């Protein structure tokens, strides 16, 4: 079995070397797990600054349904190699046949230590109804919780990521919002790439330090004349104790040490007498870097980003719908009526007017107290009603005129239909009689 990292053969140039512009799906490879058909890897790679890895739970048979014959590497090691180098790992699951196989669990375990890079997509969610979808979502979170260790709740994007008509349109708005969230996440990756690389450097520096402690300890323990082989064997079997001793002596957490078993296997092949002794000056230099230099580098990164914000990912799914009526939320909720000449609230105003005159207006305006009596019947929480009040009372006189009241009712309707309220009143919602006074104030 070929255990060398797949860097040159699979991926061509290392991510750091190539220089592309914009986002391109550069590489698409098919890998198989040991004897188990395969997972699909899909790499997004842009601007030499970030790299995404997609792993699908999908398995495909080899030619004519036979097992693929090109199994020549340790699949989990391949995944691990990529996981260390990418900015984002996206796991895809199908909502209509949720199945986390043992192989897929193993693959996820290969991402250990990179858990914070993992995002999950619950795909083809349009093929089940809402009730099933909720059950599948719960089951997925439960299963993933057992294999992925993150302090935060794992982000799962629900949607239907293909171009076919939706089978079940109940959750269309949810799918669109989720897709936008996912795109925004991917788009912002280049901004975080520099910080991530710096974090990798810190991780590696700490590993190198621990390595130096282990190696120099083994060297120190070796006899100068006889019994070298016996001593070596003894030291290898005592490695777990040695780890604990070094942890105490140098105040290093156990998590910074390499895995005992892998280390024991590797040590078999070395002559311990040829190891170097500990060089305190070098350790000092690493410590100095970790405590002082890194923070100045961090400052440099934020300065650089302020003077020249890194470009967002463009192309592919990121192009197209942004400026069209099919952009998410276009013409819906608070944006309804944005491109109409008539005030959108006017449609339902006769109904609102009738209500208005039951609230004892004085000089064409109702008081805050009377407006409140009516508005709380919506059962919206006071925090939301307070926001609506602020938006609706355009002139800020603490009372609502006929139009302001209609606007308040319109905003309540928007909120009750499940849309978000705007943070400030968009021009098309400003009541006609208030438009002039507002523009004068400008
Ligand atoms: Ca008012």
Looking at residue 72, what is its pLDDT?
57
Residue 320 CA to ligand 1 centre (angstroms) = 41
Dist. CA 53–CA 46, nearest whole Å: 12
Residue 316 burial (C-beta neighbours within 10 Å; 0-12, 13-18, 19+) = middle
Q: Which residues of 325-363 are buried (b: 16+ CB within 10 A; e: fewer)?
A: eeeeebeebbbbbeeeeebbbbeebeebeeebeeeebee
Residue 404 CA to ligand 1 centre (angstroms) = 6
Residue 336 CA to ligand 1 centre (angstroms) = 23
Residue 396 CA to ligand 1 centre (angstroms) = 5
Residue pLDDT, tens place only, 172-199: 888 888 888 888 888 777 777 778 788 8
Residue pLDDT, tens place only, 87-131: 888 888 888 887 777 777 777 888 887 888 889 999 889 999 999
Which range has highest mean pLDDT (3-7, 139-143, 203-207, 353-357)?
A: 353-357
User: What rounded mean pLDDT belongs to the chain?
Assistant: 78
On the question of pLDDT at 31 being above 60, the answer is no
Which range has highest mean pLDDT (110-119, 245-254, 404-413)?
A: 404-413
Looking at residue 325, what is its pLDDT?
67
- Kindly give, in sequence order, each residue whose CB lies less than 8 Å from that of residue 315, ignoring residues fewer than 6 positions away: 22, 23, 24
Ligand 1 is an ion; its neighbours by CB within 5 Å are 393, 395, 397, 404
Domains of the chain: 75-188 (3.40.50.300), 193-307 (1.10.268.20), 333-429 (1.10.238.10)
Residue pLDDT, tens place only, 297-307: 888 887 877 77
Dist. CA 222–CA 289, nearest whole Å: 31
On the question of pLDDT at 155 being above 60, the answer is yes
Residue pLDDT, tens place only, 256-297: 898 899 999 999 999 999 999 999 999 999 999 888 888 888
Looking at residue 357, what is its pLDDT?
95
On the question of pLDDT at 324 being above 70, the answer is no
Dist. CA 285–CA 294, nearest whole Å: 12
Bridge-partner residues for 31, per DSSP? 39
Residue 390 CA to ligand 1 centre (angstroms) = 9
Looking at residue 154, what is its pLDDT?
87
The alpha-helical segments, DSSP class H, found in 63-188 are 75-85, 102-109, 130-147, 172-187
Give the global pTM: 0.55
Residue 104 CA to ligand 1 centre (angstroms) = 60
Give the pair of three-digit tokens for residue 192.
């975080």
Looking at residue 50, what is its pLDDT?
38
Crossing angle of the two packed helices 260-267 and 239-250, in degrees rounded to 10: 110
Residue of 47, 58, 49 whose CA lies nearest to 86: 49
Residue of 226, 231, 225, 211 whose CA lies nearest to 272: 231
Give the pair of three-digit tokens for residue 369.
């107290």
Q: What's the Cα-to-Cα distance from 47 to each of 16, 25, 38, 301, rounded to whole Å?
A: 9, 12, 29, 17
On the question of pLDDT at 7 being above 50, the answer is no
Residue pLDDT, tens place only, 218-240: 999 998 888 888 999 999 999 99
Residue 397 CA to ligand 1 centre (angstroms) = 5
Residue 408 CA to ligand 1 centre (angstroms) = 11
Residue 394 CA to ligand 1 centre (angstroms) = 6
| CB distance 313 to 190 below 8 Å | yes
pLDDT above 70 coverage of the chain, percent: 77
């Amino acid at each position: 079995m070929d255990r060398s990292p797949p860097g040159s053969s699979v991926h061509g140039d290392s991510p750091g070397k190539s220089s592309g512009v914009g986002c391109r799906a550069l590489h698409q490879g098919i890998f198989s797990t040991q004897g188990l058909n395969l997972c699909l890897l899909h790499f997004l790679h842009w601007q030499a600054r970030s790299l995404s890895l997609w792993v699908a739970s999908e398995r495909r048979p080899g030619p004519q349904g036979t097992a693929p014959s090109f199994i020549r590497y340790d699949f989990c090691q391949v995944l691990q190699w990529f996981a260390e180098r990418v900015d984002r790992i996206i796991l895809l699951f199908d909502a209509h046949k949720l199945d986390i196989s043992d192989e897929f669990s193993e693959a996820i375990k290969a991402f250990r230590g990179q858990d914070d890079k993992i995002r999950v997509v619950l795909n083809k969610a349009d093929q089940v109804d809402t009730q099933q979808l909720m059950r599948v979502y719960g089951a997925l979170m439960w299963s993933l919780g057992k294999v992925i260790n993150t302090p935060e709740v794992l982000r799962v994007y629900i949607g239907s990521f293909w171009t076919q008509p939706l089978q079940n349109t109940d959750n269309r708005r949810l799918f669109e919002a989720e897709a936008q969230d996912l795109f925004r996440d991917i788009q912002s990756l280049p901004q975080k790439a520099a910080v991530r690389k710096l974090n990798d450097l810190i991780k590696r520096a700490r590993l190198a330090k621990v390595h130096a402690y282990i190696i120099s300890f083994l060297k120190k323990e070796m006899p100068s004349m006889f019994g070298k082989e016996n001593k070596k064997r003894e030291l290898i079997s005592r490695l777990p104790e040695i780890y604990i001793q070094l942890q105490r002596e140098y105040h290093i957490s156990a998590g910074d040490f390499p895995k005992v078993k892998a280390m024991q296997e590797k040590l078999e092949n070395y002559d311990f007498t040829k190891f170097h002794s500990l060089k305190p000056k070098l350790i000092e230099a690493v410590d100095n870097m970790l405590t002082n230099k890194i923070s100045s580098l961090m400052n440099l990164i934020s300065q650089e980003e302020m003077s020249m914000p890194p470009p967002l990912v463009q192309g592919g799914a990121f192009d197209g719908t942004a400026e069209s009526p099919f952009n998410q939320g276009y013409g819906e909720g608070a944006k309804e009526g944005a491109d109409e000449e008539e005030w959108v609230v006017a449609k339902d105003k006769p109904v609102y007017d009738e209500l208005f005159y039951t609230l004892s207006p004085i000089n064409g305006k109702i008081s805050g107290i009377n407006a409140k009596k009516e508005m709380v019947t919506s059962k919206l929480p006071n925090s939301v009603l307070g926001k609506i009040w602020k938006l609706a009372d355009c002139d800020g006189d603490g009372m609502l005129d006929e139009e302001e009241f209609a606007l308040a009712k319109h905003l309540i309707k928007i909120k009750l239909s499940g849309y978000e309220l705007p943070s400030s009143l968009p021009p098309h919602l400003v009541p006609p009689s208030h438009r002039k006074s507002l523009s004068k104030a400008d």
